[in-house]
Amino acid sequence: MAAEYDITIEQGATFTFAVTVTGVNLTGYAASMQGRTQHAATTTVFSLTSPSGGLVITAGTNSIITVTLSATATAAFTAPSEGVYDLEYSISGVVTRILQGMYRITPEVTR
């Protein structure tokens, strides 16, 4: 069962956080994360992938998935806004959702 974690993304600032996957060695795995305004939305607000699309997997006994959105990427987001997201890892067609929740984008003042 995926853990619930709400995130706040500051428009115009670099956004990063790391998720530790305890007891799972993610060597050879891929990761993906998407945010949408609502679960049924057909378009994404953001879409991240590993290894070079904003998600980095550091494999080991306790693997770490690091999520990063650049300041340039977050500056392009509409703010204020909110929606839903989830984070998954996969290998050989088996997908595991590890994190899900709401995201909120707060507006930037200094530009």
* Domains identified in the chain and CATH numbers: 3-106 (2.60.40.10)
Going by the DSSP 8-state scheme, the letter that residue 38 receives in this structure is: S
**CA quadruple 1, 34, 41, 70: dihedral, nearest 10:** 150
Predicted confidence band of residue 52 (pLDDT cuts 50, 70, 90): confident
List the end-to-end C-alpha distance of the chain, in Å, as a whole number.
40
Q: Whole-number mean pLDDT of the chain?
A: 96
Q: How far apart are CA 46 and CA 42, in angstroms?
A: 12
Tokens 């998954």 — which residue? 88
Q: What pLDDT shows up at residue 54?
A: 95
Q: What pLDDT shows up at residue 12?
A: 97
What pTM does this model have? 0.93
Predicted confidence band of residue 1 (pLDDT cuts 50, 70, 90): confident
- pLDDT tens, residue by residue, 90-99: 999 999 999 9
